[in-house]
Amino acid sequence: MSFLVAVAGKGGVGKSTISALLVRSLSAQGTVLAVDADPNSNLGQKLGVDVQGTVGEVREGLLSKQGTLPKDMSKQEYLKLKSREILSEGDSLDLLTMGRPEGPGCYCYVNNLLRVFVDQLMDSYPYVIIDNEAGMEHLSRRTARNMDMLLLVSDASHVGISTAKRLSDLAGELELKVGRKMLLINSVRPGQEERVAKMSKEVGLPFLMLHEDETVREAAFNGTPLKGDEPLAREIRSLILEIFPSSRRKEA
């Protein structure tokens, strides 16, 4: 039985960075399924994993077949095969990437395929981390309908925290099945803690703070993978039992 975490928040707050470092921290307990549900995919880069294929490419392949499938193979069997083909393997992690469809039209078809693939794959992993695109699109489309945790990431700004509050409210309005919600404030500078805590309390969710990390900023600037030994990575590992109370962390 896997534990599914959806990571959401406004653009530029570090969702992909947080997702990547959570995957690194949790991989001590077994291979983690990382899902890059942002069409502007960069989770693979942060994890140092070469993307083998995308859900968008599967969609294009299905459209080109015009409904015809290999002989003696059901659509469910075909999709299960394709989900395995595009799964990229890393160090104690597997990565499923949404990507962009080549043709025109909305992302509804790709979103549906992504949900099917996650449903097919997730039971093989102790943890599933879904890095969602900026804003509310994936929640409104119900890409991740059943979540053990909705992790709302914000920076230390009023705009970011307000967006996190709206996302939390939206999840309730859509009647999504969410086991637990948590607010994670990223890139907090020394001396900002009291002000950030005051704003965060107004959201009405349990919250944790993570401090600004120049090494992570440099990695993003240079386009290099996160190693998992950055100050931010160590801070996340120290909080992992607070984020996941049921987690039985293995000490290195």
pLDDT at residue 142 above 60? Answer: no
**pLDDT tier at 249, thresholds 50, 70, 90:** very low
pLDDT, mean of residues 157-181: 89
Amino acid in the structure at residue 139? L
State residue 250's pLDDT score.
44
pLDDT at residue 129 above 80? Answer: yes
State residue 38's pLDDT score.
86
State residue 36's pLDDT score.
95
Q: What pTM was computed for the model?
A: 0.89
State residue 119's pLDDT score.
87
Tell me which fold the domain 3-243 belongs to.
Rossmann fold (3.40.50)
- What pLDDT digit, counting tens, does each position of 21-79 carry? 999 999 988 899 999 998 888 999 999 999 989 998 888 887 776 556 777 777 788 88
**pLDDT tier at 137, thresholds 50, 70, 90:** low
pLDDT, mean of residues 169-177: 85
State residue 144's pLDDT score.
58
The angle at the Cα of 247, spanning 46 to 173, to the nearest 5 degrees, equals 75
Q: Minimum mean pLDDT among 115-129, 160-174, 232-246: which range? A: 232-246
pLDDT at residue 14 above 80? Answer: yes
As a whole number, the mean pLDDT across the chain is: 86
Most confident of 56-70, 110-124, 180-194: 180-194
